[in-house]
Amino acid sequence: GAVVSQHPSWVICKSGTSVKIECRSLDFQATTMFWYRQFPKQSLMLMATSNEGSKATYEQGVEKDKFLINHASLTLSTLTVTSAHPEDSSFYICSARDDRGVDGYTFGSGTRLTVV
Amino acid sequence: GESVGLHLPTLSVQEGDNSIINCAYSNSASDYFIWYKQESGKGPQFIIDIRSNMDKRQGQRVTVLLNKTVKHLSLQIAATQPGDSAVYFCAEDQAGTALIFGKGTTLSVSS
């Protein structure tokens, strides 16, 4: 089946620094990928839709300058949390949709970001 | 087995019971629905899906029911096992744009 690799699985960074999270589709091409954010004991909240070769579409209330998304190839999307602050600490999860239209949406294993 | 008509954040069952988890979705234009299982610290794991032209779909030990009239989705787990303990989410695909997740239900199975 389809596999999405998300890296790193966890990261601790200092306030004011930036952190990059990678999302790779390993055995399929994904023109469209998605980034979610999940706070403890809450549901997954869609942050943005990442499209290969074009600008990401951000959901209402999500700061595009804070959460930079780059989808430079059909198998890789990155989310960069810029000038991170403690309130950015969360679980970030990516998802990829197979261009062949099979297997629906495949999720990565998530990245636990802690900003200290 | 335990049955709930409305969404509840938690559900506790005994091993071997049947579990029913409910979900209300928001968009009548949604045409594809998926149930996910999420264990602590992990990404969502696909359980079963259903398209809007169906009202029931069965998998191994799981059944999904879709009621489009009231925009309601349910997940039935037969003979619930301790390994089924997790948070369960329904998600709706709004015409192929993105998956929107509903509120989760934490299932606790005691042996």
Q: Is residue B91 part of a domain?
A: no
Task: Report, as an integer, the average pLDDT of A3-18.
Answer: 97
Q: Is residue B65 part of a domain?
A: yes
* CATH number of residue B53's parent domain: 2.60.40.10
Residue type present at position A39: F
Task: Report, as an integer, the average pLDDT of B69-96.
Answer: 94
Q: Is residue B90 part of a domain?
A: no
Q: Is the pLDDT of residue B2 over 70?
A: no
Which residues 49-108 of chain B have a CB within 8 Å of chain A?
49, 89, 93, 97-104
Residue of chain A whose Cα is closest to the Cα of B33: A104
User: Collapsing DSSP states into helix, strand and coil, what is residue B99?
Assistant: strand
Closest CA to A13 of A96, A65, A76, A85: A85
Residue B52 lies in domain: 1-7+14-80
Q: Is residue B88 part of a domain?
A: no
Contacts with B32 from chain A: Cβ below 8 Å: 104
Q: Is residue B3 part of a domain?
A: yes
Count of domains in chain B? 1
Q: Is residue B72 part of a domain?
A: yes
Task: Report, as an integer, the average pLDDT of B70-95.
Answer: 94
Half-sphere exposure of residue B9: CA atoms within 13 angstroms, side-chain side: 3
CB atoms closer than 10 angstroms to residue A88 = 19
Closest CA to B60 of B78, B75, B86: B78
Task: Report, as an integer, the average pLDDT of B7-19.
Answer: 93
